[in-house]
Amino acid sequence: MSEQAIVDGTGEIAAWQSVDGRPRTIAIGVIRLMATLCLAATALSLLAHYWWLADLIANLRVQLIIGLIFSLVCIVCVRQKRLAVCVILALIWHCSWITPYVFAPQKPIGVRPLKICTVNVLTQNSQHDKVLAVLKTADPDVFAVLELGTALESRFIEELSDLYPYRITQPSDNGNFGIGLWSKMPLQDETIFNLTVPLVSSISAKVSWEGQVVRLFATHPIPPINSRYFQARNRHLELLAERIRKESKNTEEASTVVVGDLNLTPWSPWYRKFLRDSEMDDCVHGDRMASLSPTWYRWPKFPFGLVLDHGFCSGTLVCSSRKVLEDIGSDHRPVLLEFIRSEESSHQEVENLEKK
């Protein structure tokens, strides 16, 4: 059977015109379509600061990188050089957001950490035994509960009140914005406040740890699933950052810690804006490859998850450990954070260098 090469304007082989070559032509079409979709999504992500759909796409940078790498391998095999160059440029763009986290310096090692856990339990989640078991094993000093319902709050009161006698809660069985903060240490100046949407509450409280006052914030902005909610989430983060800065300047707290489900990943420009506006450091930085570990899953496999649950700190505290914990029956995984004094971190780094 004869085969005739069809050569395009650039001199590249586009397909083989034969009966046997038809599958190849179809494969090239599929590869081009996949690469074009990834490139189109990449182009849309450039508008993430302004458009809710573009912001959702920007949060999928890990998934886009996987799709672009697969597309690149296929494109190289079929010798589509121009398309390959475009895919490589898109890969560089997305990787520029993620590599600072993956290759960041390792977290410092310290002693006597302040352990704080943030857990989005999912209001309709009935697997309360799993939630309690994970929290008891993690044994944090303070934990923030998002999407807290009245039934789970009752279980906490029944089983954890001896260990965590101090709490401030606002449970809700309607919607997904109940919230609570539980502590082994006395809570001071605790308050529940709203930033934008009346039903979406946040918590602020102080604890005294190792002789210093630490201001805690637990928050859960609305998910940006349309233009209106996108604006509400962004305004929530702006107002929260403003409140953090103001309280840091007007009070004598040595440190501030923020935890919660922010409904955005570190790959969103709004995440970076929150870091700048609040003048805080995030807990993902220095987590190396673990920074890619999803805390929310659409389906329970790596490509179908996002890093939505976060911790931030400022002042004399630095994050020394961040662990994504096991399944609790929710679509989110708990995140256990450990904080140490920055001076302890510096001392430990010196000791580590001396050992080397």
Question: In this structure, what CATH number is given to the domain that contains residue 323?
Answer: 3.60.10.10
> In whole angstroms, what is the distance from residue 232 CA to residue 210 CA?
37
Residues with Cβ < 8 Å from 60, sequence gap 6 or more?
41, 306
196 and 332 in a single domain? The answer is: yes
Q: What per-residue confidence (pLDDT) applies to 253? A: 64
The three-state secondary structure class of 59 is coil
Burial (CB < 10 A; 0-12, 13-18, 19+), residue 49, is: middle
Pairing of strands 13-17, 212-219: unpaired
Q: What per-residue confidence (pLDDT) applies to 166? A: 97
pLDDT tens for each residue of 20-36: 557 767 777 888 888 99
231 and 285 in a single domain? The answer is: yes
Q: What per-residue confidence (pLDDT) applies to 152? A: 97
Last residue within a domain, chosen from 50, 82, 102: 102
Q: DSSP string covering 230-258, please?
A: HHHHHHHHHHHHHHHHHHHHHS--SEEEE
Question: What backbone phi and psi angles, to 5 degrees, belong to 10?
Answer: -95, 0
Q: Give the global pTM.
A: 0.85
> In whole angstroms, what is the distance from residue 125 CA to residue 298 CA?
15
> In whole angstroms, what is the distance from residue 146 CA to residue 261 CA?
8
| Low pLDDT (below 70) residues in the chain | 1-21, 24, 110, 250-253, 344-356
Element (H, E) at 347: helix 342-355
Q: What per-residue confidence (pLDDT) applies to 98? A: 93
Q: What per-residue confidence (pLDDT) applies to 108? A: 82
> In whole angstroms, what is the distance from residue 48 CA to residue 185 CA?
40
Tell me which residue range forms the domain holding 138: 114-352
71 and 174 in a single domain? The answer is: no
Q: What per-residue confidence (pLDDT) applies to 109? A: 77
> In whole angstroms, what is the distance from residue 70 CA to residue 20 CA?
25
303 and 217 in a single domain? The answer is: yes
Q: What per-residue confidence (pLDDT) applies to 335? A: 97
Comparing C-alpha atoms, which of 74, 122, 101, 76 is closest to residue 319?
101
Comparing C-alpha atoms, which of 342, 341, 330, 340 is closest to residue 118?
330
Q: What per-residue confidence (pLDDT) applies to 21? A: 58
How many structural domains comprise the chain?
Answer: 2
Query: In Å, how far are 115, 217, 268, 305, 320 from 57, measured between CA atoms?
Result: 33, 28, 9, 13, 31
306 and 339 in a single domain? The answer is: yes
Q: What per-residue confidence (pLDDT) applies to 310? A: 97
19 and 68 in a single domain? The answer is: yes
